[in-house]
Structure 1
């Protein structure tokens, strides 16, 4: 985790300086962008390990930048917003944000969130790959695949989506409550339990786009299971 490169996308110079100072003190490398277009250019050239992305930046707002980042890969993204409304938070999660922080924030809390997301992305969870029906999850490499005609087709998932899939595939027909999924897969986040619905919906959609239907059925009043028993 040390020496990881964090792209700070923030148009308020004072906030950007504070974040930069705290991250540098913890051993991170940093680069800054004050608008969306510059952020995308830095991301394309520098390949940061994580992006701290303010929602209210000029020249492409944070949500537009996040959507573009998710089209090209799965770099961890923590959204930063001054809007505390849950709908705005869920908008970021729907596009694939791995976590969010609401202004005003404690810079030490931001650093803690960065470390937590990077721990997940760098693969601290270990174990052999596991298969279930047409799915395979490799816990060591944080990769997931759809198995078709003897071929492994990679799934492009956010960290939260991967963690949900990895958590549920260990007990694929067990019903998991939303709160349990949140605690197991996003323990450092202050996200609401209902944000699990957004991640599960995105994961289900990606599986269906790969031709894998019937996964992640909702269990009314409880939560979700990976698949119904056959």
Structure 2
């Protein structure tokens, strides 16, 4: 997927913020759609396959958390949340319903561009190419197959739709089966920057990942094991 073809939906009730983001993102070659409230955002997000949605948390009518909740019921479109200072509780809610990242207002447009590119890089699916068999980058367990080139996960023979962050977390654990990772390690290595100790971010993503796997393969869901007082590991039956 080339940057020129990526369409991004910017959702914010403040026109100046939408205009600012549109200007900077278009300079990077992205196509931009806008929405000023949650209702319009949902309509557009359901009708169009966006590469990314930049979503303000505090919106009139349907707020960002509700938009993300409804979106996640049918799509895995990456979501970058915009939050104001002091909205930590809402931010955690955002992660619980499937946001991939967040930026705190007031923000630097450069930071937004950095986060956008990082999310799009993770969700890039250049590899939905027809291949004979599995590549060397694939990870195969009895109940779980991760085709890394295609960013495709199959559990119990069924494909599982994951957000970029859920996929990245699963792949990270799977590359070192039976190794225990602390929440701090996972934040640093999977999220690529410090989250100022908000360790619940990891917990909410693990919970969502387990729930999605459990729907198609309970065996694969139980592979993600909690090591109390430490963190998580992907456990492989001996």
Q: TM-score, normalised by structure 2?
A: 0.88
Aligned residue for 1:215? 223
Partner deviation per Cα, 1:71-118 (whole Å, 9 max, x = no partner): 111110011122534321110001000001111111110111001100
Gaps of 5+ in 2: 128-134
Are the structure 2 counterparts of residues 55 and 131 from structure 1 closer, same or farther at C-alpha, using a change threshold of 3 Å? same
Partner Cα separation in structure 2 for residue 198 and residue 9 of structure 1: 24
**Equivalent residues of 1:113, 1:188 under 8 A apart:** no
The answer on 1:183 being equivalent to 2:188 is yes
Alpha-carbon separation, structure 2, partners of 1:34 and 1:51: 13
User: Which of 203, 207, 221 is 2:209 aligned to?
Assistant: 203
2:150 aligns with one of 138, 141, 145: 141
Which aligned pairs between 1:60-75 and structure 2 lie closer than 5 A? 60-75=62-77
Counting matched residue pairs gives 226
1:226 Cα deviation from its structure 2 partner = 0.9
CA-atom RMSD, angstroms?
2.0
Q: Aligned-pair distance for 1:144?
A: 0.7
Distance 1:221 1:90, change over 3 A: same
- Give the Cα separation in 2 of the matches to 1:160 and 1:190: 14
State the partner residue of 2:132: none
Displacement of 1:181: 1.6
Distance 1:201-1:71 versus aligned 2 partners, 3 A rule: same
Aligned equivalent of 2:141: 132
| Alpha-carbon contact 1:8-1:16 (below 8 Å) kept | yes
Unaligned segments of structure 1, at least 5 residues: none
- CA shift at 1:188, angstroms? 4.6
